[in-house]
């Protein structure tokens, strides 16, 4: 349960949340994405493209969202009793969602169903993201699926905003600035989810 609704809805908290999310994503993505290519490439050579892409998802998705959640954790730890589980929820959701989505895409592409594979990234990815996030927090918050859905929507929205803005600004998808923009958008959505949940529970 939330210990303090006001602590998650104040403007000072929201601004700090967005800033640490931007910084966390910039750093985590800069580390996790190159590592995912390295590890995933080795698995690809050993076990094939489906497993290779799934491992890329585990490392990139888990490392990135786990890193963002770890950056956000200090802001939560004095406000909610389940703060210690927040980084685990982010890492598990990111790893499961990206692994399921990337693996499904690789498998369907091998079968010649690239269009279906693009849809599978969303369907399998979101389902795995929601399930993993909910499993970590289900006994600690009253509406774990609601919060997981807010985080999933924040990730998708952050990706869309960053791609659109990045294309106009000429940002490289591998750059820290791209990651910071993504993190800020993701942080804005997740802090809205936290605030909405706290208002409903207090």
CA neighbor of 156 nearest in space, from 118, 125, 198, 111? 125
30-67 confidence digits (pLDDT tens): 999 899 999 999 999 999 999 999 999 999 999 999 99
Going from N- to C-terminal start, the domains of the chain cover 6-201
Q: Are 65 and 85 in contact (CB under 8 A)?
A: no
Quote the mean pLDDT of the chain.
88
Q: What's the pTM?
A: 0.87
Q: Residue 172: which region, alpha, beta or left (left: phi > 0; alpha: psi -120 to 50)?
A: beta
Structure-model confidence comparison of residues 96 and 158, the more confident one = 96
Name the phi and psi angles at 148, rounded to 5.
Answer: -60, -40
Count the neighbouring beta carbons within 10 Å of the beta carbon of residue 12.
7
Residue 160 has pLDDT above 80, yes or no: yes
Q: How confident is the model at residue 1 (pLDDT cuts 50, 70, 90)?
A: very low
Q: Are 121 and 102 in contact (CB under 8 A)?
A: yes
């Amino acid at each position: 349960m939330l210990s303090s609704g006001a602590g998650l809805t104040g403007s000072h908290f929201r601004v700090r949340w967005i800033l640490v999310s931007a910084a966390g994503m910039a750093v985590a993505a800069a580390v996790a994405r190159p590592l995912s290519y390295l590890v995933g490439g080795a698995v690809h050579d050993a076990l094939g493209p489906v497993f290779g892409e799934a491992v890329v998802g585990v490392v990139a998705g888990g490392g990135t969202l786990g890193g963002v959640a770890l950056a956000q954790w200090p802001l939560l730890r004095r406000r909610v009793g389940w703060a210690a589980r927040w980084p685990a929820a982010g890492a598990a959701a990111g790893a499961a969602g990206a692994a399921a989505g990337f693996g499904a895409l690789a498998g369907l592409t091998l079968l010649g169903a690239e269009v279906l594979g693009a849809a599978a990234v969303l369907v399998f990815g979101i389902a795995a993201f929601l399930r993993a996030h909910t499993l970590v927090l289900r006994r600690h918050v009253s509406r774990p699926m609601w919060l997981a859905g807010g985080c999933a929507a924040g990730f998708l929205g952050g990706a869309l905003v960053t791609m659109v803005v990045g294309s106009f600004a000429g940002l490289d998808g591998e750059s820290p600035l791209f990651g910071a923009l993504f993190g800020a958008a993701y942080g804005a959505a997740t802090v809205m989810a936290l605030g909405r949940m706290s208002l409903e529970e207090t």
